[in-house]
Amino acid sequence: MIDQILIEQAHQRVASHIHNTPILTNSHINDLVGAEVFFKCENFQKTGSFKARGAINSVLQLSDEQKKKGVATHSSGNHGQALAWAAKMAGVSAYIVMPENAPKVKVAAVKEYGAEVIFCKSTLEARETTLEKVMSEKGCTFIPPYNFDNTICGQATCAKEVFEDLQNLDFLLTPVGGGGLLSGSALSGKYFSSGTKIIGCEPELANDAYESFHSGELQPAKEPITIADGLRTSLGDINFGYIRKHVDDILLCSEEEIVNAQKLIWQRMKIIIEPSSAVPVACLLRHKEHFAKAKIGVIISGGNVDFDV
């Protein structure tokens, strides 16, 4: 079980390596929602997403023997970039298994950080079997993208910063794919802002977290085809345990709503966000009557966009 001390220790461990990212507001969006909305902009984070937090927290806790043999993971992009960066920071080799349809910008970034990319078919089974082969050959340590307490503790530092900067938030919204950010945010909410309701946000076409939360049993992802490529992963069982206990609700949005929300942020806030980051904004707009007159935090999870798509 992750307790308050573990999150505080993680924040102390990673603070000198990451950005305490800015919180931005926009009066037009406030008017659209009928509430006060505060955007925690992890698109300005190292490697362009919140994933840097969990990756560096995990790498910094490796033993000397593990560091010698390197680290590996599977990732559609953001965790791969983050682990490649964290490994470079620590002087450790990194091997990143990526699906063939991963955004080109994310593949290029992984390589630029000095990691070796190994491609596989775009299924979870292919990712896992390819990763097992790499680990067997290299003897390296698997750093999970979300289903791992060290990763979750690192991701929890994002919401911790939100709660340090903003008091009396009514809601905090985050996207949910594998569940690292949502479970970490929920734990930070429990320990640092117990009055804040934590809301997960998910595409209708990748709704395994929604189905799991509302059924009470972990449901596998069913061929997710959403534009939000960072949310195509199945919810982790460790993450689900925390989410079931500490998250207040999970909401859904359509593909059209995701695209419109992404355009809204680009046009009105003049910042680049990826489709996964637009999902909480889309859910907020779809369910705005639920959030009327509230004080709302939204985690913009990343800004790594493939402009060729």
Six-digit token string for 144: 């999970």
Active site residue 51: yes
What does DSSP say about strands 71-74 and 36-41: parallel, antiparallel, or unpaired? unpaired
**Which of 294, 277, 40, 12 minimizes the C-alpha distance to 154?**
12
Q: How far apart are CA 167 and CA 297, in angstroms?
A: 10
Residue of 46, 51, 160, 190 marked active site = 51
Residue type, 172: L
Q: Is 139 left (phi over 0), alpha (psi -120 to 50) or beta?
A: left
Active site residue 27: no
Torsion over CA of 70, 74, 77 and 79, rounded to 10 degrees?
-60
Q: How far apart are CA 133 and CA 130, in angstroms?
A: 5
Residue of 49, 58, 76, 301 marked active site = 76
Q: Angle at CA 123, nearest 5°, toward 117 and 127?
A: 40
Q: How far apart are CA 264 and CA 68, in angstroms?
A: 46
Active site residues: 51, 76
